Amino acid sequence: MIIEKAYAKINLALEVMDIKDGYHLVNNLMIPIDLYDEISFEKSNNIELVNNEFLDNIILKAANMFIDKYKINSGVKMVLKKNIPSAAGLAGGSSDAAATLRGLNRLFGNIATKEELLEMGAMLGSDVPFFIDMKLALCVGRGEIVLPYDISYEPFNILLIKPETGLSTKEVYKAYKYNGDDKKEKIDNIINALKYCDIFSLKQNIFNDLTRVALSLNNQLENIYNDLKTKTDIYLSGSGPTMFIINPTDTIKNYCKKAYPTCFVKECKVL
CATH for 32: 3.30.230.10
List, for residues 113-148, the tens digit of each pLDDT value: 999 999 999 999 999 999 999 999 999 999 999 999
- Return the pLDDT at 56: 57
The domain boundary, picked from 84, 114, 148, lies at 148
pLDDT average, residue stretch 150-172: 94
How many structural domains comprise the chain? 2
Same domain, 134 and 172: no
The domain boundary, picked from 148, 180, 214, lies at 148
Q: Which residues sit opposite 32 in a β-bridge?
A: 9
Same domain, 182 and 99: no
Containing structural domain, residue 104: 2-148
Same domain, 124 and 15: yes
List, for residues 146-155, the tens digit of each pLDDT value: 999 999 999 9
Same domain, 132 and 103: yes
CATH assignment at residue 220: 3.30.70.890
Same domain, 165 and 143: no
Tell me which residue of 175, 136, 168 sits closest to 239, measured CA to CA: 168
Q: Which amino acid is at 235?
A: Y
Same domain, 53 and 162: no
The pTM assigned to this predicted structure is 0.94
Same domain, 95 and 6: yes
Same domain, 205 and 95: no
Same domain, 80 and 180: no
List, for residues 24-64, the tens digit of each pLDDT value: 999 999 999 999 999 999 999 999 998 766 555 899 999 99
Distance between CA atoms of residues 71 and 224, nearest Å: 50
34 is catalytic: no
127 is catalytic: yes
- Return the pLDDT at 55: 52
Tell me which residue of 3, 65, 76, 87 sits closest to 37, measured CA to CA: 3
Judge whether 208 and 187 are in contact, CB under 8 Å: no
Same domain, 135 and 168: no
**Does the pLDDT at position 247 exceed 90?**
yes
pLDDT average, residue stretch 238-255: 98
Considering the chain, what is the average pLDDT of its residues? Answer: 95
Who has greater pLDDT, 87 or 238? 238
Q: For the chain, first and last CA: distance in Å?
A: 26
- Return the pLDDT at 46: 95
- Return the pLDDT at 254: 98
Name the active-site residue from 37, 127, 162, 183.
127
Cα 221 from chain centroid?
18
Same domain, 133 and 204: no
pLDDT average, residue stretch 65-87: 95
Distance between CA atoms of residues 247 and 232, nearest Å: 10
- Return the pLDDT at 124: 96
**Does the pLDDT at position 88 exceed 60?**
yes
Same domain, 50 and 168: no
Q: Which amino acid is at 173?
A: Y
- Return the pLDDT at 54: 58
Phi (first) and psi of residue 214, to 5 degrees: -60, -45
Q: Alpha-carbon dihedral of residues 43, 45, 46, 52, nearest 10 degrees?
A: -50
Name the active-site residue from 9, 162, 183, 186.
9
Spatial CB neighbours of 128, under 8 Å, sequence gap ≥ 6: 94, 97, 98, 121, 122, 144
CA distances from 2 to 27, 64, 237 (A): 34, 17, 30
The domain boundary, picked from 148, 176, 199, lies at 148
Spatial CB neighbours of 233, under 8 Å, sequence gap ≥ 6: 203, 245, 246
